Amino acid sequence: MRDVLDDDLAELYPVPPDDEVRLARLRARLFEEEKPRRPSRWLGAAAAAVTVVLLAGLVVVLRPLDREAPATLPTKPATSLHEAATALEVTERPAAKYRHVSYLAWEVRGASDPFTSSAFEWKIDVWLPTAADEMVVIFREQTGARRHVAGAVQPDRPLYGELERGPQLWQSFCSRTPCREVGIGQSPGADPVRALDEVAAAMLSPFTTVEEKAALYRGLGETPGITWRDGQVFAEGARTVYTIDPVTGEVTGFEQRHATDLRVPADTVTLSASITYEWTDQRPS
């Protein structure tokens, strides 16, 4: 049976009076519910951007690729000097203008009349350019921190003259890049105690390249008597101990017990340093 709506539809869309089928179709189209829209492509991409994969009992989250993220894969912490050498070689090196190496060092100094021995703290900062023929910037300063070691207690006062320059952690002098630490390439000797002493400058120097330091690690790792324990590198009876970051392979610490005055306790740490590294495009002028 036709109603008012049918008459209106017939007026809008001329339909023969007896074409009830076509009128029914027009009515159906008018009241047809809008079909759900398909999700746009960007929604599908967003859903796929973070995916959780369950594999062999492990949940792995796959995140969208960040174009600015380092291209290196996560490195398993080293359990030996050989693995530390590999970690050092694969650690990502950003494309920065400078490598900033910062040392916080303590050194024991003594004086007579009356005898006194104290440890003084220095901060040493090195900005090493990554480009050739660029000036190397090195700052050395006393922090003012001081610890009494032995003998008479003296009033706190800064050191002057040659003593003011602080400890000599490496041997080479370099004012412009490229720089090279002297003594690189010499294989550690068979005596583990002596070997750890002799590589100190090369291990601590900001001028030692990644390849050179990795070769040092492997040489020390092949020396009988040298032990790796959770990043600590030492030998029985050795005066020198290194700390290596098991993830990055960088030397982050150093201690030496080498008291030359019998009035200083034999187990005194006479020279030590903690070392940090960063890549930067800025440096002091």
Angle at 55 between CA 52 and CA 60, to 5 degrees: 35
- CA dihedral over 55, 61, 66, 71, signed as positive or negative: negative
The mean-pLDDT minimum among 10-19, 106-115, 184-193, 253-262 falls in 10-19
19 against 135, higher pLDDT = 135
Helix ranges, 79-126 (H): 81-90
Show the tokens assigned to 255: 């201690």
| pLDDT value at residue 189 | 78
**In contact, 102 and 124? CB cutoff 8 Å:** yes
Averaged over 243-272, what is the pLDDT? 96
| pLDDT value at residue 41 | 43
Please provide the average confidence, as pLDDT, over all residues in the chain. Answer: 80
Q: Is the pLDDT of residue 179 over 80?
A: yes
| pLDDT value at residue 28 | 61
Q: Give the rounded percent of residues in the chain with a pLDDT score beyond 70.
A: 69
| pLDDT value at residue 161 | 53
| pLDDT value at residue 5 | 54
**In contact, 207 and 181? CB cutoff 8 Å:** yes
CA distance 268 to 272: 11
Phi, psi (rounded to 5 degrees) for 198: -75, -25
CA distance 116 to 133: 45
As to burial, measured by CB atoms within 10 angstroms (0-12 exposed, 13-18 middle, 19+ buried), residue 274 is: middle
Q: Is the pLDDT of residue 43 over 60?
A: no
**In contact, 87 and 74? CB cutoff 8 Å:** no
The mean-pLDDT minimum among 96-100, 115-119, 197-201, 229-233 falls in 115-119
CA distance 235 to 243: 13
**Can you state the angle between helices 210-221 and 81-90, rounded to 10 degrees?**
170
CA distance 19 to 25: 10
Averaged over 6-32, what is the pLDDT? 57
| pLDDT value at residue 153 | 87
